Structure 1
Amino acid sequence: MDHWIEDWIIEADIPSMQKAMESGTVSSVDLVKAYQERIRKYDSKINSVLEINPDAMELAKALDQERKEQGSRGRLHGIPVLLKDNIDTHDKMHTSAGSIALANSIAAQDAFVAAQLRSAGAVLLGKVNMTEWANFMSATMWSGYSSRGGLVLNPYGPGELFVGGSSSGSAAAVAANFGAAAIGTETSGSIISPSSQNCVVGIKPTLGLISRSGMIPIAHSQDSAGPITRTVTDAAILLGALTGVDERDPTTLSSVGHSYQDYTQFLDACYLKHARIGIPRFYYKDLDEARLAIVEEAIDVLIKEGVTIIDPVELPCEQTEWDVNVLRYEFKKDLNDYLAKLAEHVPVHSLREVIAFNEKHAETALKYGQGTLIWSDQTSGTLSEQAYLDSKLKNEEMSRRMGIDYALAEHDLDALMFLGNEGGSDLAARAGYPIITVPAGYAATGVLTRGGYTTKGPQGLTFVGTAFSEPTLIKIAYGFENATKHRRPPQLE
């Protein structure tokens, strides 16, 4: 491989890669080799990649040959993509959600998401580390830690800056240019948080836009996969490849008439002149001075770009005391359903067996305990408890009618704006509504958090809309990205 490719690939976007492959300047094999070399050289500093697909090179060769003989399948043909370790792939890679209990589990079939990527011509480059059980194992577990993979570190300040969770490996790897893009998953904040902290773009789509079949779950009322990329353009490309109705996930039926196979048509930087964005000041109250300054600067930029800013916007749900009963009750049922289908050689087939396995292997499996697993296992697993039913109804009512939808309708807004994971992710998650984050700057100072990290570092500007408003959110994020260009790669040398 020519050494210039190793330098060229840094910050290269998917359209640039496609153009280079179409011209014959580079091949998919070249891309795979370059990313594998970067992972070999630099991932020891951030610990983001769990395993490389041993078939990646052969897949790339076959796709290169197919391009020569039949032409390109589309925008993802030959593009190396990383997947979070809770997304099934029916190949030689494992799917473990970071747990040593599933370290040798190989899926019987691809997750819908993985199948869509293969069909689009993407090369599944490898699996990335994540917070174990998507951070639903222990209240004291550090974001980015798994017993199988260890701790993912933020490439902008390993050991100092918060990496975010639970799709920490996905975001850190994309930020470090270890793949063209990655797929993360989110229940509440798990795409948006690490994307914001690692200076990349993340989209958690509307519930039902992307199938969850073949994903190790937390809660079907909130779980979704989504793209993590270095640009809004790349995120739009990935999002279109992942949509579709899946009989294994009936929730995807709700997307009929609301989904697109091509979201790049919404890359309209001029849309900001027509946009109306609300500023929910209640959710800014815990921001330190440096992060609040980033928000104020972003507001100024949006105004200069022609956005109508409504400031402040109040939501009737602001003072609501939320609980996690929906996650607690759905976790046992959904995880049991997933584990029950695993191969016989896998040592666990229920949540109870996971807990027992961890106790038996406590030295390696229980660095942070498993209080959340035990707490969830105390439920019936039937989703019949009144506490669950009440919480589910409350989540939908307060986050939608008394939350996001209320604010959008009251002020005729396109979106609400937040900083990173501060408030917006949880609100959107409970509503099942889409959310996108895009790099907004770097806080040079910060305050120490409970986990011992500082709040300084990369910060993302986050936009929330109503159900299936991804086209509008992409327009807004694309306009802001073009007006600011805050994305910068980390220094790994």
Structure 2
Amino acid sequence: MRRSLLPLGLMLALAACQPASPPNATAPAAPTDFIYAELDIADLQARMQAGELDSRRLTQAYLDRIAAVDKAGPQLNAVIELNPDALKEAALRDVERRANAVRGPLHGIPVLLKDNIDAVPMATSAGSLALKDFRPGRDAFLVRRLREAGAVILGKANLSEWANFRSSHSTSGWSGRGGQTRNPYALDRNPCGSSSGSAVAVSANLAAVSVGTETDGSILCPAAINGVVGLKPTVGLVSRQGILPISHSQDTAGPIARTVADAALLLGVLAGRDPADAATTNAAWNTTLDYGARLTPGALKGARIGVLRSKAAIHPDAAAALEGAIQVMREAGAIVVDAEIPTDGQWSADELELMLYEFKHGLERYLAERNAPLTTLTQLIGYNEQYRLSEMPHFGQDLFERANAKGGLGESAYIAARSRARRLAGPEGIDAALKAQQLDVLIAPTTGPAWLTDHKAGDHFPGAGYGAAAVAGYPSLTVPAGHSDGLPLGIVFMGPAWSEARLIALGYDYEQRTRARKPPEYWPTLPPRAARR
């Protein structure tokens, strides 16, 4: 699974580096009431427009919420660092609003970023203590777009260290710098990764929206498991400049939100051509970025939807959620048929091979260009060995070591693996499945319910329905679809390259008909069903 400064205080920072134990109480670890809980961007904008709220008050409210819920109370460990300029940025957005200079739908809206995205003046550490003091001197391209759109950068979210590409036996949501992020539905359950903090923070109302990154499942899995919406765009719709890489073939940033509407608004800001990222100059690049215009009821009527029933084997409750989704879509007028990806899973070995090659090449280039304190994978491996007690208390670095042994990107083994993986997942995979029955999209369970966090054995990952889209570089959207003993489940929509607008339209219509998201209750562990509201 490749799920993939103003410190919070020295004592909090030190505490965050150790995985905290959930309380033993049987009642929920209830957070303080939050006046802006579950409000979407449109609601917040309406209140600011009416003068009932301003960005500075909203930003302060989220900062207070983080202190009460993330660092105290349930201790979610979703936020790894706060932006010391957040209140100043919010105050400037308020000045602009009073001058009738609102920049767009994200004006004054607080946004969290995954801690592998450059944003001045904060560190970009990928959760590693080796980079805890590394502060790049300029924003990532997508961060510049957020600032230009009037968004307030609230801070950085914790993640699975190195985007879950350090060890094949890792525990998702854990990093040496940030500690263990917890699932807000049951604190002893895993949040999935690698955008763990980004998804948990949105689910727990620590921010309006967040930005995650994905190589294979790093947006989709944590979004589904934490009961929110996650959208992985086509590779090349969002610039990767200023983001710590794993694989330039599959990496992309994307939105995580509580609603499809908010994900669409955020995507419209993130997307943009960037000369520094050749993938965004693709001739087929989608220039229709007003995704909010696709938020209309009735999109499911007449849509041809293919069901990947083989993915129902992930978990019985995931299968039940899939059947429920099929019924909703048929009642909405969709034509739903069984489908299959003829090459399903045949790309797995090639995907890992291309990642091992691309990780070393991309990472070392990123670090060298920014004068990082460590600039080679060999140095990072040495750091982890030197500080084994803090960096490797739970799992090792076998993926680092395997990647470090690879040669350059001109080697035939890499070229062949990359070609096969993209072909099998894309033209001979998703495209073939869609073409066989003239389908608009494919759907499947996103993944199963959250598993118990287990630092000794690592992740107990149940499987996923989104892998083909990740390897092909195609878009995918997960939307809440139900629960398994109180733990969220999601449905994934997958389409051909550049089909974000269509996925958003279908996902929005499905979301409005189901309203499946339920806010978390912060149980220490799953209680008996009778105890749950």
TM-score bucket (shorter structure): over 0.9
Distance 2:284 2:154 in 1: 31
Tell me how far 1:492 sits from its aligned partner.
4.1
| Structure 2 match to 1:204 | 232
Identity percentage over the alignment? 43
The alpha-carbon deviation at position 365 of structure 1 amounts to: 1.3
| DSSP-derived class of the 1:316 partner | coil
Pick one of 23, 30, 34 that aligns with 1:7. Answer: 34
1:361-384 deviations in Å (ceiling 9; x for gaps) = 11111221111101100012x212
Question: What amino acid does structure 2 have at the position aligned with 1:171?
Answer: A
Which residue of the other structure, out of 358, 380, 385, is the alignment partner of 1:354? Answer: 380
Partner of 2:102: 72
- The verdict on how the C-alpha distance between 1:216 and 1:353 changes in structure 2, with shifts beyond 3 A counting, is same
C-alpha contact 2:347 2:421 (8 A) present in aligned 1: no
Distance 1:8 1:414 in 2: 40
Q: Supply the distance in 2 between the matched residues of 1:372 and 1:275 (Cα, whole angstroms).
A: 42
Shift of residue 211, structure 1, vs aligned partner = 0.2
Q: How does 1:141-220 map to 2 (within 5 A)?
A: 141-159=170-188, 161-220=189-248
Paired amino acid for 2:113: L
CA separation of 1:474 and 1:101: change in aligned 2, threshold 3 A:
same
Q: Distance in 1 between matches of 2:205 and 2:415?
A: 43
Query: Where do residues 269-308 of structure 1 align in structure 2 (5 Å cutoff)?
Result: 269-285=297-313, 287-308=314-335
- What is the Cα deviation at residue 255 of structure 1? 6.1
Q: Does 1:476 align with 2:491?
A: no
Question: Structure 1 residues 257 and 49 mapped into 2: Cα distance closer, same or farther (>3 Å)?
Answer: closer
Which of 339, 351, 355 matches 2:367? 339
State the Cα distance separating 1:39 from its structure 2 match: 0.6
Counterparts of 1:433-444 in structure 2, within 5 Å, are 433-444=474-485
Superposition RMSD on alpha carbons, in Å? Answer: 1.5
Conservation of the 8 A alpha-carbon contact between 2:187 and 2:522: no
8 Å contact kept, 2:347–2:425: no
Give 1:268's aligned residue.
296
Kindly provide the CA deviation profile for residues 326-365 of structure 1, in whole angstroms up to 9, marking residues without a partner as x. 111000000010011233xx43111111111111111111
Question: How far off is 1:257 after superposition?
Answer: 5.0
Aligned length: 471
In the alignment, structure 1 segments of 5+ residues that lack a partner are 445-455
Q: Which amino acid aligns with 1:295?
A: L
The 3-state SS of whatever aligns with 2:443 is strand
What is the distance in 1 between the residues matched to 2:296 and 2:421? 33
Question: Is the 8 Å Cα contact of residues 329 and 376 (structure 1) preserved in structure 2?
Answer: yes
Q: Is the 8 A contact 1:85 1:129 kept in 2?
A: yes
CA contact (8 A) 2:232 2:254 kept: yes
Identify the residue that residue 405 of structure 1 maps to in structure 2.
431
Matched, 1:140 2:140: no
Letter in 1 for 2:472: A
The one of 50, 68, 74 aligned to 2:80: 50
| Residue identity in the other structure for 2:91 | K
Distance change (3 Å), C-alpha of 1:435 and 1:33 = same
Tell me which of 264, 270, 274 is aligned to 1:242: 270
By how many angstroms is 1:260 displaced?
A: 2.8
- Of residues 124, 129, 133, the one that matches 1:104 is 133
Q: Distance in 2 between matches of 1:376 and 1:123?
A: 37
C-alpha separation in 2, matches of 1:410 and 1:271: 22
Q: Residue 491 of structure 1: CA displacement? A: 1.8
The answer to whether residue 421 in structure 2 is matched with residue 395 in structure 1 is yes
Question: TM-score if structure 1 supplies the norm length?
Answer: 0.93
Partners of 1:438 and 1:481 within 8 A in 2 = yes
Q: Which residue of 15, 24, 44 corresponds with 2:51?
A: 24
Q: Kindly tell me: are residues 256 and 67 of structure 1, through their superposed partners in 2, closer, same or farther at Cα, counting changes over 3 Å? A: farther
Aligned partners of 2:306 and 2:442 also within 8 Å:
yes
Aligned-residue offset at 1:111: 0.4
Q: Distance in 1 between matches of 2:161 and 2:276?
A: 25
| DSSP 3-state at the match of 2:319 | helix
Give the match's secondary structure for 1:463: strand
Aligned residues of 2:194 and 2:219 also touching (Cα < 8 A): yes
Structure 1 CA distance for aligned equivalents of residues 345 and 388 of structure 2 = 40
Q: Deviations over 1:49-104 (max 9, x none)?
A: 0011111011111110111024211100000000000000122x111100111100
In structure 1, what is the Cα distance between the partners aligned to 2:283 and 2:198? 26
Q: Distance in 2 between matches of 1:321 and 1:242?
A: 29
TM-fit CA distance, 1:259: 3.0
What secondary structure sits across from 1:7 in the alignment?
coil
What CA distance in whole angstroms lies between the structure 1 residues aligned with 2:234 and 2:98?
Answer: 37
Given the superposition, is the C-alpha separation of residues 177 and 319 from structure 1 closer, same or farther in structure 2, using an over 3 Å criterion? Answer: closer
Question: Could you tell me which residue of structure 1 aligns to residue 145 of structure 2?
Answer: 116
CA contact 1:90–1:106 (8 Å) conserved in 2:
yes
TM-score, with length taken from structure 2: 0.86
1:448 maps to none
CA gap of 1:361–1:319, structure 2 versus 1, over 3 A, is: closer
Aligned to 1:418, the other structure's residue is in SS state: strand
Give the Cα–Cα distance (whole angstroms) in 2 for the partners of residues 439 and 403 of structure 1: 25
SS in 2 for 1:246: coil
Give per-residue Cα distances to partners, 1:376-429, cap 9 Å, x unaligned. Answer: 00012x212222111111112111122100011111111000111444322111
Distance in 1 between residues matched to 2:516 and 2:498, nearest whole Å? 27
| In 2: Cα distance, 1:186 partner to 1:361 partner | 28
Encode CA deviations 1:140-166: one digit per residue, 9 max, x unaligned: 11000100101111000011x231100
Q: Which runs of 5+ in 2 are unaligned?
A: 1-31, 448-462, 524-533
- Measured in 2, the distance between the counterparts of 1:319 and 1:257 equals 27
